[in-house]
Amino acid sequence: MSEESKCNCQHCGGHIAFPSEAAGQDVACPHCGGETTLVLPQVRKVNPDSNALVPRDELKSEMPDATKVLIGIIGIAIVAISLALIVHHQNEAAQAERNWKEAITPRTSYTEQVEEEQVAREKHQDYIHWEATNGIAEGEFVYATNLLSSQMPTLTNTAIEWLQKAADQGYQPAIELLGENQPKSQLDSIDNFLWENRGTDLSETENDLTSTYNPAVFNGERYMIYDRSITIANGKIVLKAEDKIHNDDNQELTDLTSKEAANNKIDFEIGKEAQITPIFEKFLEWAATAKENNVENFQKQIICVTNSFGGTLGSAQAIRTYTFSWQDGQANLIVSDSSRDSVAGFSTEDVFSYQKLLLRLPQMKQKLADAIRNKEAQKNLFH
């Protein structure tokens, strides 16, 4: 049987018993798990008087009993602390493993998570729509911004209507969002007044009417009435073209454009008529050039205008394209509008009529502003 020796762990100080022939080997400490080298204990010390080695048993015999007790207590304390640290380390490792397993183990499947999120979104949207339809300003505003953020140009008009409803109730975010699309600093005093009172039910309209008699086309004595109008209402200016058949008594017989009436117009906001004037001028210039040079049929884009609704929601845009069309000697202005998903055509005569009507616009604005002020003044009489 081999002789047994003992040494201390170089990490935790714990006692390690081992066969003497294993001295010098690196082993894992049974207490802390750290790697330590097995060493034989010194058995003798140097005698300061004779420079000779003293046996270890003699050293022990010379040690006082109190010192032995103290050393024993210290050794026990070191072992206890080491054991406590080992247990604590093991507990921490076990808890970390449990946390990791919980993190990588899904509580529900991915499909179930998607379905739950979808149901939650739908419930939230239903609640927002309920608020909006019940006249709650915050709901109207959130519903409008949701429509704008959908990046569907066909929804921008609807979204602006909901924003307007919220703004009419004094909801400040809606007022500010609408204001971003119509900076007051760029409007004169009349335009400012009309914009601030865009919720009024008052409007102002001017017409340019012409009539044509053509029995070959209409199979009898009937007249074609060309009605070109300009209207100011709700912060917008609308140029509209309608063609109708009347009899000799000026009674309307048929509305030729009933299916296209909604599309057969050009609208723009108060204060932005300066944008449409150069378009009309360019159209008439190209029409005269095409006629003078007897050119082949062609189409050419005049301008493409992008209107963004709100700086923070710039992704919601309405794109309107103005295109010059020359077909068989006739010029037409083609206007396509992504917000209404519509296309409308206007002749050279229409553009001439619109130019004349735009000249009346300043007087129309003043007349409408006076009417709004008068209406408000009459309301104040009964406060």
192 within domain boundaries: no
Establish if 251 belongs to a structural domain.
Answer: yes
Q: How does pLDDT run across 163-177, given as a tens digit for each residue?
A: 878 878 878 777 767
Is pLDDT above 60 for 61? no
Which pLDDT value is given to residue 257?
A: 46
- Regarding whether 167 and 51 lie in a shared domain, the answer is no
Residue 107 has pLDDT above 50, yes or no: yes
Tell me which of 58, 85, 103 is where a domain ends. Answer: 103
Q: Which domain holds residue 283?
A: 204-374
- If asked whether residues 273 and 299 sit together in one domain, one would say yes
- How many domains does one find in the chain? 3
Residues 91 and 211 in one domain: no
Same domain, 141 and 215: no
Query: Is position 38 within any domain?
Result: yes
Q: Helix or strand or coil: residue 38?
A: coil
Please check whether residues 96 and 135 belong to one and the same domain.
Answer: no
Q: For residue 285, is it within any domain?
A: yes
CA-to-CA separations, 222 to 57, 217, 226, 248, 249, in angstroms, rounded: 140, 9, 13, 7, 10
Are 209 and 350 members of one domain?
yes
Who wins on pLDDT, 87 or 205? 205
CA nearest 326: which of 350, 368, 293?
A: 293
**Tokens (6 digits) for 217:** 């086309």
User: Is 125 found in the same domain as 62?
Assistant: no
**Does 134 lie in the same domain as 28?**
no
Q: Are strands 236-246 and 252-255 parallel, antiparallel or unpaired?
A: antiparallel
Q: What is the pLDDT of residue 108?
A: 57
Residue 351, pLDDT above cutoff 70? yes
Q: What is the mean pLDDT of the chain?
A: 77
Which pLDDT score is estimated for 116?
A: 76
**Can you list the pairs that 22-28 forms with residues at least 24 positions away whose Cβ atoms lie under 8 Å?**
none
Residue range 258-266: mean pLDDT, rounded:
63
| Co-location of 174 and 246 in the same domain | no
Residue 42 in any domain: the answer is yes
Is residue 308, in this structure, part of any structural domain at all?
yes
Assess whether 214 and 341 both reside in one domain.
yes
Closest alpha carbon to 178 in 200, 189, 162: 162
194 lies in some domain: no
Q: Are 71 and 57 in contact (CB under 8 A)?
A: no
Most confident of 37-51, 188-202, 239-253: 188-202
138 shares its domain with 156:
yes
Residue 121 inside a domain? The answer is yes
* Residue whose pair of structure tokens reads 């015999």 in the numeric block: 61
Query: At a CB cut-off of 8 Å and minimum separation 6, what does 15 contact?
Result: 6, 7, 8, 9, 75, 79
Per-residue pLDDT averaged across 235-242, rounded?
89
- Based on the fold, state whether residues 148 and 115 are members of the same structural domain: yes
